[in-house]
Every structure is written in C-alpha cells, then in structure tokens.
Amino acid sequence: MKSYLYSRISTLQQTKGFGIDRQVQTVTDFLKYATIDSRLGYQLDVEDFEVLESDLGKSAYKGNNWKPNSSLGRFYKDVVSGRITSGVLICENVDRLVRMSNYEASNKLSTLITNGIDIIEVESGMCFSNKIPESATILNMSISRAYSESKRKSDMATKSWANRTNKLKDSGRAVSKVCPRWLTVKDGQYVLDEKQAETLLYIHQMYLEGHGNSALVRRLNAAKRLDNGKPWTTITLHRVLRDERLTGRMVMGKTRKPIPVLDDQGNKIIENGKVKTYVPVEIIDDAYPVVVPRELFNQVQAMISEKEGSKVKKTTKYMRNIFNGVSRCSSCGEALVADKNGHGKLFYVCLGKRHKKACNSVGIPYEAFERTMLENLSQMDWQRIYTGNTDMEAMNQCRVRLVAVEREIAELEGELESSDEDMVL
C-alpha cells in the first residue's frame, strides 16, 4: 500500500529549529520498520511512498492547513475528487493534522477514511481505519486532546497579551521588544532615537509645505539623513507618512479575521453583492513616544488623500508603443520605453539612462522609428521564416535588413544631435 507522509509547523519562526526535519525523519523511520494491524489486510510498501510538501506556518487550530493553498488541503481535494482512491496518511501525531473543534476535525478525517485513506499516528502506532472499529473512539479522543491543548494555549496567550497591554496603559511599560525602528526598549520602556525622530518630523513638515516624495527622497539621501542606515525610497517615505505610530498611537488587531456585520434579526448584511464585515481593533493612545504631533499628522493624511483622490486613471484604446517589451537599447541592453518630452513629442528613451543614469544613448523620435520598423517588417517573407526554411539566403536577407534599420536609426540620432546643437547655438 502506498504511503503519504505529512509534516507541519504552526509558525514560520519554527523553521529555524528542527521541527520539520524531526517529523519527516520520524515518519520515514516508522515506514521502514513498522508492523501494522493484520485486520487492515495489507502491508506498507517501503519503496512506494510520497513525502507531501510540509505545511510551514499553517495553523491547524484555525484550519489553515486544510485550505486549498496548503499541502494537506490539496491532498484532501485529490482524495475527495477521486484522483487518489487508496493509501495511508502517516503523521507524527494526529495534532499535526487537526487542532480544530471536534466536529470540524472529525468531519475532515472521517472523509479521508471513508474515501479509502487510512491514517497512522507514529507516536502511538495506532491506525485509524474502517477496518478497525475501535479506532473511531480513539481518534475522537485524540482530536479532543489536540483541540483542548490548542485552546488552552490560545487562552493563555490572550490573557498574557491583555496583561501586557494593561501594563502599557497603566505604566507605559513596553508590551514587546519588537517596536518601531525609531524606538528601542530599555528596562521595559520605549526609548526614542532623537536623530531619527528629527528626520521623521522633518519629512512630515516638508511634505505639508508641498515637497513631493521624489524631491524629499533626493534631499534626504543627499544630506545623508538615511532611514536607519539605508537610503530612502519613495515607498519607504510613503509608509512613514502613513505610519500612525509616529503620533504615539498603537492599533492592535489589524490582521484579525474580518467579522460579518449582522442586522437586528441576526442576518448578515449584504452590500454591493458582498457580506459587510469589520475588523475589531483596539486603539491605545500615547503607547509610544510622540514624534509627529497629531494635528500635523492629520493634515498630512488629508493632503495625501486629496492627491490620491485627484489622480485620474490614464486609460486609452491606443497603444503608445507597439514594440513594448521587445525593444532594447543597443548601448546598454536596457528596455526602451516611449515617453513624451516637454514639447509633447514622443521619443524612444532608454530606461538605463532615465533611471540609472548609466547610459549615454540619445532618444529616438518614436514615429520615425515605428515607421521604419514597420516598412522593413512588411517586406520580410514571414511564411518562409515560420515554415522552418532557415537557409543561409533567408538569414542573410534578415541581416541585410537589420543593418539597414540600424543605419537609419544612426542617421536619426545624428539629426537629433544636430538639432540639439542648433538649439544651443
């Protein structure tokens, strides 16, 4: 009988340990030396097994390891759909498979068993199968034990976090060593990095005065006022402008699962064809040292929202550049993009020159480039090329046309340079 070996860890932090390696080694060793109940009517084939991809950071308590994007979820789908009709699922302990409530967990495992997949728990050596009647009772006990243990840990973690947040509210004591990058934790208290705080306040003040993100990034990097030793980017700058923690406010629960909004009769409220939900959050003011005054922060948020709301999506039924994604700069190999200059004329510009300033190529008038390329492409014998007739004559013909195109491009570049010199004179 073919075996399927499964392993799981609840958090990604556990990948630093040996949890997965230990589980895989345990189940593979079991497969080599296992003696199973004779009532099953088969033996495990030590040569015929499949190690399922480990579910890393998938909580069994929340049922995340049974979702379609998980290894166990895909296995479950294959069994239910009939792609896998028989086999044995082997795990170190039943709690690797389920930590959900009894009925939810029983439903999942019972579905596997009734569809031809027996389950073996390595730690106890127990096999859960229709062919072993008493195994159903033991399975329910294992499920109940796994769920109770996870619920106890969850309750303890909730109480511990509540205790820490109460200490934060009462005495300003840090809830965790993990904190915003402009703070450190010393003797249980948040300590502000004054130099970094000065830069963050300066960013908000300058933005309110009308300085854009790109201009601020250039000014900060030129003045060596870095972001914890790293150069600023428009992305990191935008995140700082939106970071409410700078006002001293801590918002907890943003990542919690959305909860449906119910009406007076207890029915879910539907808006625009979707269930209306909300995320329960807890707000603690003055949790951190204040870097940006609340009034200044709110003014910046209003300005950002106004700018974002005024942006009109640029859509057109016309293609600006029909060679987009296939054209490259002959000097540096970077992509060529069509862009308008100050006079509204469309030019082919090298990204290496525009962004990295690492290319000396000159922009090419796009209309002339497109016209030249289309004229040459229209004269090519495409049927001969796509029928696989790649004799030397056809290849030489392509080379001749390529040289002609390059010559015309060079002439256009020369004309452009001459026009630039005339403008300077």
pLDDT of residue 76: 94
Backbone angles phi, psi at 411, to 5 degrees: -65, -40
**Within a 10 A sphere around the Cβ of 360, how many other Cβ atoms?**
10
Q: Give the confidence band of 344 by pLDDT, cuts at 50, 70, 90.
A: confident
* 424 pLDDT more than 50: no
pLDDT of residue 31: 83
* 403 pLDDT more than 80: no
Of 146-155, 250-259, 273-282, highest mean pLDDT: 146-155
Q: Give the confidence band of 356 by pLDDT, cuts at 50, 70, 90.
A: low
pLDDT of residue 419: 55
> In terms of pTM, does the model score above 0.85?
no
pLDDT of residue 7: 87
Instruction: With beta carbons less than 8 A apart as the criterion, state whether 252 and 282 touch.
Output: yes
| Predicted confidence (pLDDT) per residue in 52-104, tens digit | 888 888 888 888 899 988 999 999 999 999 999 999 999 988 988 998 888 89
Instruction: With beta carbons less than 8 A apart as the criterion, state whether 373 and 405 touch.
Output: yes
pLDDT of residue 423: 44
DSSP collapsed to 3 states, the chain: CCEEECCEECCHHHHHCCHHHHHHHHHHHHHHHCCCCHHHCCCCCCCCEEECCCEECCCCCCCHHHCCCCHHHHHHHHHHHCCCCCEEEEECCHHHCCCCCHHHHHHHHHHHHHCCEEEEECCCCEEECCCCCCHHHHHHHHHHHHHHHHHHHHHHHHHHHHHHHHHHHHHCCCCCCCCCCCEEEECCEEEECHHHHHHHHHHHHHHHCCCCHHHHHHHHHHCCCCECCECCCHHHHHHHHHCHHHHCCEEECCCCCCEECECCCCCECEECCEECEECCCEEECCCCCCCCCHHHHHHHHHHHHHHHHHCCCCCCCCCCCCCCCCCECCCCCCEEEEEECCCCCEEEEEHHHHCCCCCCCCCEEHHHHHHHHHHHHHCCCHHHHHCCCCCHHHHHHHHHHHHHHHHHHHHHHHHHHHHHHHHHC
- CA separation for the pair 374, 378 (Å, rounded): 6
pLDDT of residue 425: 40
More confident residue, 312 or 129: 129
Of 11-15, 117-121, 354-358, 359-363, highest mean pLDDT: 117-121
Q: Mean pLDDT, to the nearest integer, of 213-242?
A: 91
- CA separation for the pair 326, 336 (Å, rounded): 8
* 420 pLDDT more than 80: no
- CA separation for the pair 79, 101 (Å, rounded): 22
More confident residue, 422 or 259: 259
Please return the burial class of 8, using the count of CB atoms within 10 Å of its CB with bins 0-12, 13-18 and 19+.
Answer: buried
Q: Give the confidence band of 23 by pLDDT, cuts at 50, 70, 90.
A: confident
Q: What percent of the chain has pLDDT over 90?
A: 27
Q: In this predicted structure, which of 174-183, 197-206, 304-313 has the lowest mean pLDDT?
A: 304-313
Q: Give the confidence band of 253 by pLDDT, cuts at 50, 70, 90.
A: low
Structure tokens at 57: 């950071």
Instruction: With beta carbons less than 8 A apart as the criterion, state whether 206 and 197 touch.
Output: no
Position 374, amino acid: L
